[in-house]
Amino acid sequence: MDASTVTSKGQVTIPKEVRRALGIRQGSRIAFTTKNGKAELRVLHRAPETVVSGHGMLDARGKHMPADFDVASLLAPKLTPKRGGKR
């Protein structure tokens, strides 16, 4: 059994194992009731999971670029004088 300390504002920290077991995340709604001198906590609404990364969520339209693509290759090529030509 984990114990938490009540702050001056009446707040407590729900232990990580309890939050995981009940699916409590930031934005979840919970309710408290008392019965026979004991407090009960009930999850009213579980907040959706937060997305850690958006990688791969959008489908690119157009040509796909290889992972080793060099942006500098898009720059206009430098004009070099032709060798052996007359001026």
Question: Quick check: is 14 in a domain?
Answer: yes
Question: Quick check: is 79 in a domain?
Answer: no
Question: Quick check: is 66 in a domain?
Answer: no
Residue 44 parent element (H or E): strand 38-45
pLDDT digits (tens, 9 = 90+) for 54-70: 777 777 677 776 777 77
pLDDT at 75: 76
- Domain of residue 36 covers 1-48
Say if CB 32 and CB 23 are below 8 A apart: no
- Beta carbons within 8 Å of 31's beta carbon, 6+ residues apart: 41, 42, 44
pTM, 2 dp: 0.51
Total count of domains within the chain: 1
Question: Quick check: is 53 in a domain?
Answer: no
pLDDT digits (tens, 9 = 90+) for 35-46: 999 999 999 988
Residue 19 parent element (H or E): helix 16-22
Say if CB 47 and CB 27 are below 8 A apart: yes
Question: Quick check: is 77 in a domain?
Answer: no
Share of the chain above pLDDT 90, in %: 41
